[in-house]
Amino acid sequence: MRHAKGRLLAAAGTAAFIFFAAVAGTLAEKETIINHTSVTSEKADQKSPIEITDELNLHAQSAVLMDASSNRVLYGKNEDLVRPMASTTKIMTCIIALENGNLSDPVTATQNAANQPKVHLGVYKGETIYLKDLLYSLMLESHNDAAMMIAEHVGGSREGFAKLMNQKAKELGCTNTYFITPNGLDAKEEIGGEIKEHATTASDLARIMNYCIGASQKSREFLEITGTQNYSFTDVNGKRSYHCTNHNALLTSMSGAFSGKTGFTGGAGYSYVGAVKSDGRIFTIALLGCGWPPHKTYKWSDARKLFQYGMDRFHYRDVYQEVQLPQVLITDAVPLSGGLDQPVMISCSMAEDRKKSIKLLLADDENVTVKTSIAKELKAPVKKGQAAGAVTYKLNGETVKEFPVYLTEGTKRLTVLWCLKNILSHYLSMPGIMEILASS
């Protein structure tokens, strides 16, 4: 019996030696099989970038047409050039007041507010008007005294309100915008030895407009005010009556126009920011330096050109595509099934609850690139659900959508201890082995 036990243990030892040698060889082989860390599968990118030359022959020195849902520039002319923006400033004044004030608040005019230049409501020091009525005065008639009353009430001072405006601009990613006044009058100030000008860019201004009409929690109130054609009100005491008419001519002359703001100063020239709806699409535009007197109508011809360009050229398309995901090699891994001489490969998947639809506003000659970037190999241990890469949709080099890719299974790291346990478990399960050990 002792001889039988000895032969059995010797056989086990020999098998173990062979087993460990095979493991070492297998692990070494895994290290040499794959030398790359990632694999990329990409469909041909047929880029058709939007023309940045001024093919529309616009009057504006700076202009932009933007997709309101994504902030994507669809047409631009010097859209990132910093310029004064006159009373288009007041879209920011309005949304800050709506988000930080109470429409039923009575607002009393200071001497500073009463001294604001034309265009003005004509308030006198001590006169009190409800905030809601001042916002209609601000946006329909572009009254400068109404703007200052709002700023001093909501921000505590012009400077305090400007701080709120600049903070919001920063939150919206408007890095080329700086506010000094709530009414948009040309202004400069020195900050830390640097001269700052009240100015923005066409792209920043359109981005602010997109926020006002969409993302802001007060967008409904903003749209109600800016979409009103005529509005009448009195002061709180009912002693003086006022009437306002909206100066956004597109509201009554262009189908789909629903919001906007005009502006003019000697330094800025004529300016305009506006929005139009068409077949589920929302386009915004911004025009800066769009002529000087007597060319007051230049902004309307430019606006129509830009909006028509957007409506004619850009339509929604669903660009979602099903992609085949490769398996990932897991090195130094405990096998999920099969022998140690077989590589450990784990499948990948995307989240099952993802929306299998990606609708983008595209020109007819634009195409989206679908790029699959998955790790070629990962080192054990790995977990089920561990990130392994992504499927990315790009338009003109910019990412528009990305789906994370995950491992469908996990596995432990292959160790000598695991191998030993596996061997012992294998031999202890052999028929009659326990009887042999028990009789020794």
The Cα 53–Cα 307 span in angstroms is 17
Residue 32 binned pLDDT confidence (cut-offs 50, 70, 90): very low
From 390, 284, 219, 220, select the one nearest 70 (Cα to Cα). Answer: 284
Parallel, antiparallel, or unpaired: how do β-strands 377-379 and 328-331 relate?
A: parallel
pLDDT exceeds cutoff 60 at 27: no
Rounded CA separation 438/440 (Å): 6
What residues form DSSP beta bridges with 106?
A: 130
Looking at residue 54, its pLDDT comes to 85
Assign 264 to helix, strand or coil: strand
Report the alpha-carbon angle 361-363-365, nearest 5: 140
Among 22-36, 86-100, 169-183, where is mean pLDDT lowest? 22-36
pLDDT at 435: 58
Query: What number is the average pLDDT over the span 338-363?
Result: 86
What pLDDT does 417 receive? 79
Residue-wise pLDDT for 290-308, tens only, equals 999 999 999 999 999 999 9
Residue 60 phi, psi (nearest 5): -60, 140
Range scoring the smallest mean pLDDT among 147-156, 357-366, 418-427: 418-427
- pLDDT at position 8, please? 42
Domain boundaries, the chain: 2-45+320-428, 62-294
Query: Radius of gyration (Cα) for the chain, nearest Å?
Result: 34
Q: No. of H helices and E strands in the chain?
A: 12, 21
The predicted pLDDT at position 40 comes to 39
Average pLDDT over residues 365-380: 94
- The CATH architecture annotation of domain 62-294 reads 3-Layer(aba) Sandwich (3.40)
Residues 178 and 260: beta-carbon distance below 8 Å: no
Q: Is the pLDDT assigned to residue 258 strictly greater than 70? A: yes
pTM recorded for the entire structure: 0.80
